């Protein structure tokens, strides 16, 4: 069984995969997909500050998200290697 949860529940150093975007307005979901947040994409949480947002590494780039945006990105945790 795979557990899905909002990205803002993850902490620094955790790795996961995007399972979807849950937002009513399509333009926000489209923009997140353009940034690389597409189903199945692996990422790592680089930094997490509840007041400043969350920074994730997708492939070879780091992206910072404002605090209100992380809860709309749903993920699943990557099992440890």
Give the tens place of pLDDT for each residue, 14-69.
999 999 999 888 888 899 999 999 999 999 999 999 889 999 999 899 999 999 99
**CATH class of residue range 5-77:** mainly beta
User: Taking the model in full, what pTM does it have?
Assistant: 0.87
Give the tens place of pLDDT for each residue, 34-47.
999 999 999 999 99
Q: What is the helix (H) or strand (E) element at residue 6, kind and residue range?
A: strand 5-6
Q: Cα separation of 29 and 22, whole Å?
A: 8
How crowded is the C-beta side of 40, counted as CA atoms within 13 Å?
Answer: 0
């Amino acid at each position: 069984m795979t557990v899905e949860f909002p990205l803002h529940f993850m902490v620094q150093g955790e790795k996961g995969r995007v399972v979807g975007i849950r937002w009513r307005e399509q333009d926000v979901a489209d923009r997140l997909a353009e940034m690389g947040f597409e189903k199945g994409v692996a990422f790592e949480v680089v930094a997490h500050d509840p007041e400043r947002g969350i920074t994730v590494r997708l492939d070879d780039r780091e992206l910072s998200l404002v605090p209100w945006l992380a809860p709309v990105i749903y993920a699943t945790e990557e099992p440890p290697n």
